[in-house]
Structure 1
Amino acid sequence: MSRSDTTKPASAGAVVPAAERIEDVDVSSEMQGSFLEYAYSVIYSRALPDARDGLKPVQRRILYQMSEMGLRPDRGHVKSARVVGEVMGKLHPHGDTAIYDALVRLAQAFTLRVPLIDGHGNFGSLDDGPAAPRYTEARLAAAALAMTENLDEDVVDFVPNYDNQLTQPDVLPAAFPNLLVNGASGIAVGMATNMAPHNLVEVIGAARHILAHPDATLDELMEYVPGPDLPTGGTIVGLAGIKDAYATGRGSFKTRARVSVEAITARKTGLVVTELPYLVGPEKVIEKIKDGVNSKKLSGISDVTDLTDRTKGLRLVIGIKTGFSPVAVLEQLYKVTPLEDSFNINAVALVDGGPQTLGLRELLLVYVDHRIQVVTRRSAWRLARRKERLHLVEGLLIAILDIDEVIQVIRGSDDTAQARARLIEVFDLSQVQAEYILELQLRRLTRFSRIELEAERDKLRAEIEELEALLGSPQAIRTLVSDELAAVADRFGTPRRTVLTEAKPSIAGAGAKKAAALEVQDTATRVFLSATGRIARVDLTAGEVEVGESGAPRMSPVVRRSKHDAIRSVIDTTSRTEIGAVTSLGRLIRFSPVDLPVMPPASIQLAAGVRVADYLALPNRQEHVLALVSLQSDRAIALGTRDGVVKRVTPGDWANKPDFEIIGLKPKDEVVGAVQGGDDDELVFVTTDAQLLRFAADSVRPQGRGAGGMAGIRLAPGAAAIFFSSIPRDPAGEVVVVTVASSSGVLPGTDPGSAKVSDFAEFPAKGRGTAGVRSHRFLKGEDALALAWVGQAPARPVSPEGAPRTLPEAGARRDASGTPLDAVIGALGASIA
């Protein structure tokens, strides 16, 4: 209600307001409206990122203002305080602390998977905050240029700043899906967001797939993005929560530190931590370990030493007392300390100005729609500019061709306006062309300038034609977006750091009271290495799994066959016994299978295993694991190389090293096969020119670790060995030879080629160092073997991703031609039967 009163003068000469208006309002309504306005401001202008570029307003303003300041990667750093002042004064009228905190986060490599700011100075750590902005310096990182590129080509809308004196981009062009790649965190009013970082190459792969297949399912997208890839590495255990988060936008997963058991001294063993869960610092871990030891929740720990430095990176050494199992102590640490931590995903972001909870598919769709719009607007802007320039060039060419008459018209005019009008009338020019001719400089009147203008005209016409064709084809725009994403992935992509496993989180139950109950039992287990590079294990019970004489697994009738992938190598061991992995670079890497994903014997799914390159942290992309071997067996390890070299080395006292060379390779040579067998076996080589050689293993005398081997097969010029293995001299079952031929001139994975399955008995044995016999006759267009495999039937072909493929029927002659295939075979291996 309202009330109006007229105030009378109280005394002569007094000045009193003529009228006074007082309104009575309901306090609850006023508070509700004001709170809603405040909440909307916090949600939209502060706490939540935009789903298109993955940035909060303050982050977007920092990157844009630094771009306007010219702080490119090829220029020097400037004081962070200067950047903060520019952002605060022009775009973000809030506290300098909030701006600097946002700037620091954009520069922290342990927070973002792809940092957007190149910081110089103390930008903090997981345990300590950064130095003051007057002590640090900053400039844009190379990836930030990809976020802000083409801003001057009308690719996004610009909105006024807080005082309507300047403008700022409503969203950045974002050449890569920043929200998924770098994650986000923020607390708004009544809602919050928390998103994990991902691998740039994997996310872009999913974005390109959804561009090509808009109806792609979540399972298809997870083939490209299997899970988060955290900046600090570590291991994610259990993937069910990740799939929930990708489906609904909400979920959780647990991360574990990367821990290895190493000999600290000759008589002391310790746990060495080289990677920690996301956003967990070493000082926090040390503090929790000390608290656990003091409260008797942890036992068996003698000391903790932080050996982290800039050269070796994180290295936290936890000493184990004599008589305690390192594995049991580690399980206690997983339970009590942040060596095992949880991460809750709550994928809330702004879409069309409002907060939404988005799954993986929705996030990718929002991003690709944004990029399609950016590329469309950029192409339209470039088309308009080129048309404008072509219009001027054509007018200038008219003037140059009739320059004498142009000069006469201009000289005969009284003023500029009359000259412009006469030029338009005489030469049929537009006003813009006439104005441009009037501004023509005399030095442009040379013959060479005319040639340049004609070349520019032709180029502009070609570019206009291309741009019009592009804008007229939505599919062409999607293809261009996909190609640009691929270029970004090639430029900024890095290998995955976080290992994904289906292993259960800490086995230490919440009700465990004794340390002994935490020990991992040393159970019998079988470790499988797949042909596509995945590794997993099966815990054995009596009668479930047997091994044939050839070393291939043979399951009981209750065990179903694997639906995916093929077996490259298999070994029987125990869960806590160290075994060896032989790589293509001639290294043997020791490891324990205790942390491998455990598959049920009744349904072996090798696709659920972990990538062996991630599990062993192979530093070289070109290095891959060829075989698993026992370090306790006295059977020799046979190796064959691409150059036809063979070597046998007997396991022995190989020192307590995590990895070491077992063959001295020549430059550009690599191991193509490795197998552990006896003296009665036969060794087999297959080469690219379809030669197969089998010879007795005892013709190769064992050598020491550093030896380079001896001649195994004599190669023809230009040929190379592509397969090496061993076969028992008297195998229990049928042994087959599988060869897949193709053309060396086509891209790998594009030509299915032809395949043939022959009986191994048809190939005569020869002596070591000879050339072998023909194993495949090439069809027209074929000139080399792409794949070969020799082993106990049935052979199992798979695609590069591990999906099953089919082979022709067995029984072909050894030198016959192959049968054309209808799909590409990526790998060959043994089958679980």
Structure 2
Amino acid sequence: MKKEIKKEEKKEVLNKEITNEMKNSYMEYAMSVIVSRAISDLRDGLKPVQRRIIYTMYEEGLTSQSKFRKCATVVGSCLGKYHPHGDTPVYEALVRMAQDFTLRYPLVQGQGNFGSIDGDPAASMRYTECRLSKFGEIMLQDIEKETVDFVPNYDGTRKEPVVLPSPLPQVLLNGSLGIAVGMASSIPPHNLKEIVDCLLLLLEKKDATLDDLFRFFHGPDFPTGGEIFNLSEIKRAYSQGFGPILIRAKAQIVKEKQEKEKIVITEIPYQVQKATLLEEMAKLVLEKKVKGIKDIRDESDKEGLRIVIDLQKEANAQQVLKYLFNHTNLSKKFYLNLLVLVDGIQPKVLSLLDVLNYFLDHRREIVRRRSQYLLEKAKERAHILEGLLKCLLNIDLAIKIIRRSKDRQEAKKALMSSFKITEIQAEAILEIKLALLVRMEREKIQIELKGEKEKIKKYSTILAKKENIDQEIKKELQELKEKFQDERRTKLSFEKIEEKVSEEELIALEPTIVFLTQNKGVKRLSPETLKLQKKGSKGGLLSREEPFGRFIFTDTHSQILFFTKDGKVFKLPVYEIEEGKKTNKAKPLSLYLGQDIKEDFCAILSLRKREEDSHLVLVTKMGQIKRVKISDFEKIKKTGTTAMIVKNGDVLQDVEKLKESDEILVFTQNGQAIHFSVKEIKEMSKKSGGVKGMGLKKDDFVVGIEKINSQRDKILLVSEKGLGKVLSLKEVKKQKRGGKGIRIMKINQKSGFLVFGKTFFEEENLLLASQNGHFLRINLKTIPKMSRNSQGVKLIKIEENDKINWAEIF
């Protein structure tokens, strides 16, 4: 047999512009996501999957008083009846509605592992059980009274509610988060008492403003507590429907024995996982970005959350906490976006006032429909009772008619004719068994009829005026407030928060030493790494490969000014310089400044903020000197700025910070020095040269300057061969600027040139550093006081080919 070849069916090909088709199809998809998945309905505050879960539990009889049932049963029932999607998203939605750290007023009561604030997932649905919470129950209040519309489910076998008749604005009480196509909703939870008070105000005062609402309303009330700030910003956000709200953890600084402090955190920001937060803090400690933390412990238990941060004795608790607020999720912004579905279909960003008014309109419709339903039911019942009363006037006749009638139709017609009742009344009488009909008491029927007439009057009155419906809503709101109100968990703080905190404020204040090498490297060490040693010893070795130029004792909140020999200056915060060990190599300063620097450095200076009354005094090798306001150096770009115009053949030698009331000592390599008042130095601009500070002898040049005041009347002098002495400044008489000065130290081949001079307090220490990398830290009390013409005693034992480059007192 020949096989019949079926002709291929012709398929219709549609010619369409692809851009238009894509646009239309994508728009349909976008609307489907917005309406059917991601954005909550303003009226009941639920997404379709949440609504279907709650309605499924209602149908299954899982009330707050019933036994718990396996979540797998609820999920399966929901999938089979109303939600033809995967079981995972349904279970996830159910779990979220049971988490007391996610919802302010959980809609589901769970039994078993429903996840934790640590970010732990819930157990499988076959292990967990659930039922509606008391708050979840009220979402379905009056649903059986035709208060909302029902539509066919996905396969047309049953009907599901379009919206639930919630008597409270669940969209505000528990909030909502959802990402749709081209839009996102982000609504925080709020306090029930505050929201109800706002609704009552709007029912009483139709023209109430947002300011009126804020008499009762204080912003979000998160289930995890915390603190919110900036009331003006919160008001602005709720006025326009979007805006940031700053929330911080609740943290307390607790003082322990031996003056140690610790930070105790008992509440964390909404949607922050505790375990992740602990990891963030631990990472900062391990990376040495925050100092002063000794230990971080999670002491949370069934009583509540508790994170304890133990601090080192020298740590500044306020600064550590401020740093953690700025670099971890202990502080975060919740971006409010009051995007909801109005009438279940139109996505809109609304103000708080609009949300409440829309909800009241919805609630009025629910109360109207409920009252209409109850009115019709009361009328129906009263009508039947009136027929029964007529029948009871001659009950024997009624029984006789029913017994003698051939069928129900004949009995109905006979009753209607004999007692002058309607078909509905006759049907109701026939529905009653004869035994019950005989035992009916006329008086009880009259009492019930009276009750039904009172209901008719009540519901007719409610429906007569909008004001009466509002009074009914008021009464219900007051009852719900009494039943569910609780204390606010999130505190509104009126403390002013500076959202942009400078990095300096976040760094723990610690003493430190900054070293500048001759090959333009920079390193930072803790003073504790340089141990105190005996005067005249060899000292330790910092680095033989990196000869030191200058170093300075400072702290992590200061700025370092680096001056070059040609009169340029660069600025760098101390905390930006990486702290290391003695053996660590210095890093090129160009790495920190972001550019190569060709000129050699001659001086470094430490500055703190708020030193407006101070000046910088700069001196050149040839004795030229100038004074510049310190405020001129507040803002210096990474590329640097000019500090002094230096003449050809001369170089900048030293810089010191002084006040106008101070006096100054300028000293040379050959041990000469001149003492005069700072006032004698004319104040100049940065881009200027100087005036003559000191007259120099042949083959002599200036090596440094030092300030003199009443508190510091002794100066330490150190020569390049490691000799040193203490000199009373009373021996150095004050002169006029420009003179040649007097001798302050005997200089010869044994001593080498004078390299360092500084005033001090006796309890301070001296740090010496040699060109070959040796260092020695000694107590200043061990250095003798000597006359001007002496050369000093040996402070450090150095090698023949080595010499002292610089020294510092701290």
Q: For the structure 1 residues 66 and 514, does the alpha-carbon distance in structure 2 shift closer, same or farther, using more than 3 Å as the test?
A: closer
Residue type of the partner of 2:179? I
Distance 1:92 1:176 in 2: 25
Q: Does residue 316 in structure 1 map to residue 300 in structure 2?
A: no
Distance 1:291 1:49 in 2: 38
Map residues 496-507 of structure 1 onto 2, 5 A cutoff. 496-505=488-497
Cα offsets for 1:265-295 (capped at 9, x unmatched): 5553211101111111221221111111122
Other structure's SS at 1:21 match: coil
Distance 2:403 2:491 in 1: 79
Cα offsets for 1:519-541 (capped at 9, x unmatched): 9xxxxxxxxxxxxxxxxxxxxxx
Aligned residue number for residue 727 of structure 2: none
TM-superposed CA distance for 1:402, in Å, is 0.7
Other structure's SS at 1:122 match: coil
TM-superposed CA distance for 1:231, in Å, is 0.6
Q: Does residue 31 in structure 1 map to residue 12 in structure 2?
A: no
Q: For the structure 1 residues 446 and 35, does the alpha-carbon distance in structure 2 shift closer, same or farther, using more than 3 Å as the test?
A: same
Q: Does residue 238 in structure 1 map to residue 230 in structure 2?
A: yes
Residue type of the partner of 1:181? L
Residue type of the partner of 1:122? N
Q: For the structure 1 residues 19 and 181, does the alpha-carbon distance in structure 2 shift closer, same or farther, using more than 3 Å as the test?
A: closer
Distance 2:283 2:471 in 1: 57
In the alignment, which of 106, 119, 124 is matched to residue 115 of structure 2?
124
Aligned residue number for residue 155 of structure 2: 163
% of aligned pairs identical? 41
Other structure's SS at 2:67 match: coil
Q: Does residue 345 in structure 1 map to residue 336 in structure 2?
A: yes
In the alignment, which of 43, 66, 78 is matched to residue 75 of structure 1?
66
Other structure's SS at 1:512 match: helix
For structure 2, the residue ranges without an aligned partner over 5 or more in a row are: 512-810
Cα offsets for 1:331-390 (capped at 9, x unmatched): 111111111111100110000211000110000011111111111100110010111111
The TM-score with structure 2 as length reference comes to: 0.61
Aligned residue number for residue 426 of structure 1: 418
Aligned residue number for residue 457 of structure 1: 449
Other structure's SS at 1:148 match: coil
Distance 1:266 1:322 in 2: 8
In the alignment, which of 435, 455, 461 is matched to residue 443 of structure 1?
435
Aligned length: 508
Distance 1:347 1:501 in 2: 23
Q: For the structure 1 residues 518 and 445, does the alpha-carbon distance in structure 2 shift closer, same or farther, using more than 3 Å as the test?
A: farther
In the alignment, which of 344, 349, 359 is matched to residue 351 of structure 2?
359
Q: Does residue 59 in structure 1 map to residue 50 in structure 2?
A: yes
Aligned residue number for residue 391 of structure 1: 383
Aligned residue number for residue 561 of structure 2: none
Q: Does residue 208 in structure 1 map to residue 200 in structure 2?
A: yes
In 1, are the aligned partners of 2:316 and 2:508 still within 8 Å (CA)? Answer: no
TM-superposed CA distance for 1:411, in Å, is 3.9
Distance 2:425 2:4 in 1: 73
Q: For the structure 1 residues 421 and 513, does the alpha-carbon distance in structure 2 shift closer, same or farther, using more than 3 Å as the test?
A: closer
Distance 1:192 1:129 in 2: 25
User: Which of 1 and 2 has greater Rg?
Assistant: 2
Other structure's SS at 1:45 match: helix
Aligned residue number for residue 111 of structure 1: 102
In 1, are the aligned partners of 2:293 and 2:310 still within 8 Å (CA)? Answer: yes
In 2, are the aligned partners of 1:332 and 1:518 still within 8 Å (CA)? Answer: no
Distance 1:411 1:393 in 2: 22
In the alignment, which of 322, 336, 349 is matched to residue 331 of structure 1?
322
Aligned residue number for residue 529 of structure 1: none
Distance 1:70 1:38 in 2: 35
TM-superposed CA distance for 1:15, in Å, is 2.5
In 1, are the aligned partners of 2:315 and 2:508 still within 8 Å (CA)? Answer: no
Q: For the structure 1 residues 19 and 500, does the alpha-carbon distance in structure 2 shift closer, same or farther, using more than 3 Å as the test?
A: closer
Q: Does residue 219 in structure 1 map to residue 219 in structure 2?
A: no
Aligned residue number for residue 254 of structure 2: 262
Aligned residue number for residue 283 of structure 1: 275
In 1, are the aligned partners of 2:63 and 2:133 still within 8 Å (CA)? Answer: yes
Residue type of the partner of 1:14? I
Other structure's SS at 1:344 match: strand
Aligned residue number for residue 790 of structure 1: none
Distance 2:151 2:240 in 1: 33
Aligned residue number for residue 553 of structure 2: none
Distance 1:392 1:54 in 2: 40
Cα offsets for 1:377-411 (capped at 9, x unmatched): 00110010111111111111111111122233334
Other structure's SS at 1:59 match: helix
Residue type of the partner of 1:497? R
TM-superposed CA distance for 1:446, in Å, is 5.1
Cα offsets for 1:718-771 (capped at 9, x unmatched): xxxxxxxxxxxxxxxxxxxxxxxxxxxxxxxxxxxxxxxxxxxxxxxxxxxxxx
Alignment RMSD? 1.9
Cα offsets for 1:6-57 (capped at 9, x unmatched): xxxxx99432147553333322222222111111100000000001111111
Residue type of the partner of 2:7? V
Distance 1:344 1:355 in 2: 18
In 1, are the aligned partners of 2:68 and 2:130 still within 8 Å (CA)? Answer: yes
In the alignment, which of 204, 221, 232 is matched to residue 229 of structure 1?
221
Other structure's SS at 1:119 match: strand
Cα offsets for 1:54-93 (capped at 9, x unmatched): 1111111111111111001111111111111111111111
In 1, are the aligned partners of 2:107 and 2:133 still within 8 Å (CA)? Answer: yes
Distance 1:163 1:206 in 2: 42
TM-superposed CA distance for 1:193, in Å, is 0.2
TM-superposed CA distance for 1:516, in Å, is 4.7
Residue type of the partner of 2:73? R
Distance 1:34 1:391 in 2: 55
The TM-score with structure 1 as length reference comes to: 0.59
Residue type of the partner of 1:340? S
TM-superposed CA distance for 1:119, in Å, is 0.7
Cα offsets for 1:226-271 (capped at 9, x unmatched): 2111111111021233112211111111111111122455553211
TM-superposed CA distance for 1:515, in Å, is 1.8
In 1, are the aligned partners of 2:98 and 2:107 still within 8 Å (CA)? Answer: yes
In 1, are the aligned partners of 2:44 and 2:165 still within 8 Å (CA)? Answer: yes
Map residues 262-661 of structure 1 onto 2, 5 A cutoff. 262-264=254-256, 268-310=260-302, 312-352=303-343, 353-445=345-437, 449-505=441-497, 509-512=501-504, 515-516=507-508
Other structure's SS at 1:283 match: helix
Cα offsets for 1:166-202 (capped at 9, x unmatched): 1111111111111111110000000000011100000
Distance 1:264 1:513 in 2: 24
Aligned residue number for residue 687 of structure 2: none
Other structure's SS at 2:336 match: strand
Other structure's SS at 1:23 match: coil
Distance 1:33 1:508 in 2: 45
Distance 1:436 1:130 in 2: 54
Other structure's SS at 1:274 match: strand
Distance 1:190 1:410 in 2: 70
Q: Does residue 94 in structure 1 map to residue 90 in structure 2?
A: no
